[in-house]
Structure 1
Amino acid sequence: MKQFQARVIKNGHVNLGPDKHYYSVPYRYIGKRVKLLYSRTTVEIYSNYERIALHKRNKNPYGYTTDKEHMASTHRFKSDWTPDMFLDWAASIHEDVRLYILQILERKQHPEQAYKSCLGVLGFAKKAGNERLTVACQRALSYGVYNYKTIQTILENKMDNYEESLFANELPMPDHGNIRGEDYYK
């Protein structure tokens, strides 16, 4: 058996460094340091010499092995979240919101890692309204940037109210003696 020390992260999992795989532990150990003993086939997790979890070893990098019993009852509902749930919710607002949520989900190796971001984006429908969220998603889609922070920035700065013509038409270069212009470089 080999050993590895780690801290339990906020989602109730601990990372086995050599495999880069995450294993669940009971939620009450969040934030605590634990010892992982692992063999070719199993991973045992200990806190103060007491075994708190036993999992079959999985070498899938950045994957998650989760025992539902380890999750706090208040957080178990999250395990019922699915990509389809978020996509259906987004589609009920507007097709462009659904496209944006789809992009967020597709950019994560595991859709579960994107759920918090999806929840945040869709929560703006309540705060800012469906119409503003739709325009913000359309703008963010045109930027090709897919995350919660982008939508938050667009809405906070009221960029969803900007006229599209401001972005579509470039202003001509001013005529000035210190500006060489495009012909200078040919």
Structure 2
Amino acid sequence: MESRMHPQQGFRSCIGIISLGKSYTQERLEAACSRALAIGSPSYKSIRAILEKGLDRLPPQKEGPQQTSFITHSNIRGREYYQSNEEGEKTYADSSNN
């Protein structure tokens, strides 16, 4: 409700979340709400989707940085290819193209 300009706008979302308790158990609803808070999306739509997809039954995701794998390809030159000289001009490792 705090994310709305007027608190009254959040009442319908709250009522909708509470009404999900008619279709799902209190434990599942609590787990879905906890998961929605953890991912930063505590909205009726998110909580309903979590319940519908059964994500509330899965263990919580581990927090921490995700490793990004970089693509290795012959067309990707990398930072070694581009070198700057003292004047800030770009010099290229393969000078035959200049």
> What TM-score range do you get, normalising by the shorter chain?
0.5 to 0.7
Residue number among 149, 160, 163 corresponding to 2:59 in the alignment: 163
Counterpart in the other structure of 2:32: 136
Q: Does 1:124 align with 2:20?
A: yes
Q: Which is strand-richer, 1 or 2?
A: 1
Counterpart in the other structure of 2:44: 148
- Return structure 1 stretches of 4+ with deviation > 6 angstroms: 169-174
CA distance in 2, matches of 1:185, 1:159: 41
CA distance in 2, matches of 1:156, 1:131: 14
Counterpart in the other structure of 1:114: 10
Q: Secondary structure at the match of 1:128?
A: coil
**Quick one: structure 1 residues 173 and 115, their matched pair in 2 at CA, closer, same or farther if it must change by over 3 Å?**
closer
In structure 2, the gaps of 5 or more residues are: 73-77, 81-98
Which structure: larger Rg? 2
User: Between Structure 1 and Structure 2, how many residues are aligned?
Assistant: 74
Matches within 5 A, 1:10-21: none
- Answer 1 or 2: higher relative contact order, Cα 8 Å, separation at least 6: 2
Q: Give the aligned CA root-mean-square deviation in angstroms.
A: 2.8
CA distance in 1, matches of 2:10, 2:34: 19
CA distance in 2, matches of 1:149, 1:185: 43
In structure 1, the gaps of 5 or more residues are: 1-104
CA distance in 1, matches of 2:57, 2:28: 8
Q: What TM-score, normalized by structure 1, do the two folds share?
A: 0.34
**Quick one: structure 1 residues 106 and 161, their matched pair in 2 at CA, closer, same or farther if it must change by over 3 Å?**
same
**Quick one: structure 1 residues 173 and 130, their matched pair in 2 at CA, closer, same or farther if it must change by over 3 Å?**
same
Percent identity reads 34
Q: Secondary structure at the match of 1:124?
A: helix
**Quick one: structure 1 residues 106 and 185, their matched pair in 2 at CA, closer, same or farther if it must change by over 3 Å?**
farther
CA distance in 2, matches of 1:138, 1:185: 43
How far residue 108 of structure 1 moved from its aligned partner, in angstroms, is 0.9
Amino acid aligned to 2:62: A
